[in-house]
Amino acid sequence: MPAPLPRLEDLPDLRGARVLVRAELNAPLEQGRVSDDLRITTTIPTIEWLRERGAAVALAAHLGRPKGEVRGEFSLAPVAERLGALLGTEVPLAPSATGAATAALVASLGEGEVLMLENLRFDPGEEGNDPAFAANLVAPFDLYVNEAFGASHRAHASIVGPPRVLPSAAGLLLRREVEVLGGLLDAPERPFVAVLGGSKVSDKLGVIDALLERCDTILVGGAMAFTFLAAQGHPVGDSLLEADRVEDCRRLLATGRVEVPVDVVIAQEIAEDADHEVVGAGAIPDGWKGLDVGPETAAIFADRIATARTVLWNGPMGVFEVAPFAGGTLTVAEAVAECPGFTVIGGGDSAAAVRRMGLASSIDHVSTGGGASLELLELGDLPGLAALRLGRDA
Ligand code: ADP
Ligand code: MG
């Protein structure tokens, strides 16, 4: 791992300071209200840490994909409202992320007060990493905190711009994410078992390569298992297959440390009431698709997990959103929750699965960043972290 990140404790003169906090508040909405406030609650310790020391806090965040246009359905108003309720204080919403009206609101903030800036992605300068947008964004502020781990793999203006200009630090959650995920790369206790699933093997080849250098065994489930099964010469029916990755999978299998399913749950369609059955991994008929690992595979994976000292899990074992195909993910989730070793979950859908199953509190660390956690494991660093480390030397 590269040098440590600047910490909140290292920020100068907090009392009366105006702090721009880039947060990950991309919460799901239903009928204009926040339906899952995990991303808001996990940001609160850093906000409170700053408020307790007399800082005024303005939160900058994105919501959805407004693609550089002001679109009401992507307003952060519902997030500001929920944050205010959780903090027990008023959190007004500035009309935009930059501009004179916003600067005036920031200037009027008193010690401990909190303001939310409107969606960064209403301005094309955010995703375009436009220096002029970054300059306007930081103008009213004295300090910058990056608490947006889940966005730190993107070289967007609010992530990489402010540290060049303002004294900056990593938020508490960002620091924890980097300590935990970086620790997996540096000095994991062995045996170290990685469980990988989810949709696309092409998304995860890089991380498999990086993990193979550190871990003892990689257990593969999810849709990506079928490209591995094809690499073993099995027919996969209508299962998801990335034909151009079969060769990569063959190379990974040759290490002898990648384990693939021995049985699978198959169906002809993805539906709650679909006819489904369990077959051997080499016996998927034409016209059927593999949608979950079978019970024998799930039991083998659970055994491997039970004796591991370190477990990293990314990606569900099947289409867990649909009941007949949730069994493998449930068995693996229970095994990870019961494992006495150090357990980490990275990946948006796997984290959601564990929360839905009520098992999140039995896991040592559930990462808040899907793509960011994979990229950190693969590359050992992220643009947003590098920007914090370089600071105003950049
Ligand atoms: P994560 O967000 O945890 O990294 P991914 O985004 O890579 O996971 O993949 C999650 C998706 O993969 C889920 O929506 C799930 O339904 C899907 N999936 C898992 N197994 C299969 C399968 N066998 N066939 C089709 N889709 C699958
Ligand atoms: Mg996902």
Mean pLDDT per segment of 10 residues, for the chain of length 394 residues?
A: 88 97 95 92 97 98 97 97 97 98 98 98 98 98 98 97 98 97 93 95 92 96 98 98 97 97 98 97 97 98 98 96 96 97 92 91 92 93 97 80
Burial grade of 141 (CB within 10 A; 0-12, 13-18, 19 or more)? buried
Distance CA 57, CA 89 (A): 12
Structure confidence at residue 216 (pLDDT): 97
Ligand 1 centroid to residue 44 C-alpha, Å = 30
* Packing angle of the helix pair 327-338, 348-356 (nearest 10 deg): 80
Cα distances from 165 to residues 10, 162, 168, 186, 394, in angstroms, run: 16, 5, 9, 31, 9
Tell me the ligand closest to 348's alpha carbon: 1
User: CB of 324 closer than 6 A to ligand 1?
Assistant: no
pLDDT of residue 23: 98
Q: Is the CB of 240 under 6 A from ligand 1?
A: yes
CA of 314 to the centre of ligand 2 (A): 9
pLDDT in the model for residue 1: 60
Q: How far is the CA of 325 from the centre of ligand 2 (A)?
A: 17
The environment of the single-atom ion ligand 2, i.e. residues with CB closer than 5 A, is 348-349
pLDDT given at position 352: 87
**pTM score, two decimals?**
0.92
Sequence-ordered strand ranges (E) for the chain: 18-23, 29-30, 33-34, 56-60, 114-116, 143-147, 168-170, 192-196, 217-220, 258-259, 263-267, 276-280, 289-293, 310-314, 342-345, 365-366
Residues with catalytic roles = 39, 200, 348, 371
Q: Pocket of ligand 1, candidates 239, 319, 336, 374: which has the most ligand atoms within 8 Å of its Cβ, to mutate?
A: 319
The Å distance, Cα 169 to ligand 1 centre, comes to 34
Other CB atoms within a 10 A radius of the CB of residue 243 amount to: 8
Among residues 336, 321, 323, 388, the alpha carbon closest in space to that of 366 is found at 336
Ligand 1 closest atom vs CA 292: 23
The per-residue pLDDT for 267 is 98
Contact 41, 5 (CB under 8 A): no
User: Nearest ligand to the C-alpha of residue 240?
Assistant: 1
